[in-house]
Amino acid sequence: MSGLRERLHRRFWPAHAPACGTVHFRLALTDGAPAGPRVLTFLDADERTVGQLDHQTCAACAAVFVANIAVATHWQGRGVGREALTLVADRAPGYRWSTSRQSAEGRGFFAALAEETGIEFVERGSRCPHMTGAAPPH
């Protein structure tokens, strides 16, 4: 947890973007439930949103579900999405990962990341009962 906070506060210099400055991250829990929806927002040096990662993490099931990841066009291809997923992955060692239906672009992104990290991103994977609210919070 503290590791994540450190990384959230650390500024990230995306590749090939000397003129664009840095990106940093902010995590928000949408409904307060432990396995409920979370949004990791990516912000530029002027606090403008340049992307976001909608996801859910369940500690009881050791599972992560990626609902959506979006990066502004002019920030794409610079490792911002990769950095965001790495932040979540660092906090979820050994977790099972699944994603919603992936676009063609998303498929390439997750495939590259899978190769790099060894994480398997199961497309159209199911959410656990804690994520869907079918089971009481743990």
Which residues of this protein are in contact with Zn ion, per CB under 5 A? 58, 60-61, 128, 130
Is 60:83 a contact under the CB 8 Å cutoff? no
CB-nearer residue toward Zn ion: 28 or 60: 60
Q: Closest approach of Cβ 7 to Zn ion, in Å?
A: 24
- For 9, phi then psi, to 5°, come to -85, -15
Checking phi first, is residue 66 left (phi over 0); if not, alpha (psi -120 to 50) or beta? beta
Q: Closest approach of Cβ 83 to Zn ion, in Å?
A: 26
CB-nearer residue toward Zn ion: 54 or 107: 54
Q: Closest approach of Cβ 135 to Zn ion, in Å?
A: 7
CB-nearer residue toward Zn ion: 8 or 135: 135
Q: Closest approach of Cβ 89 to Zn ion, in Å?
A: 17
CB-nearer residue toward Zn ion: 78 or 130: 130
**Could you tell me which of 33, 31, 30, 24 has the C-alpha nearest to residue 5?**
24
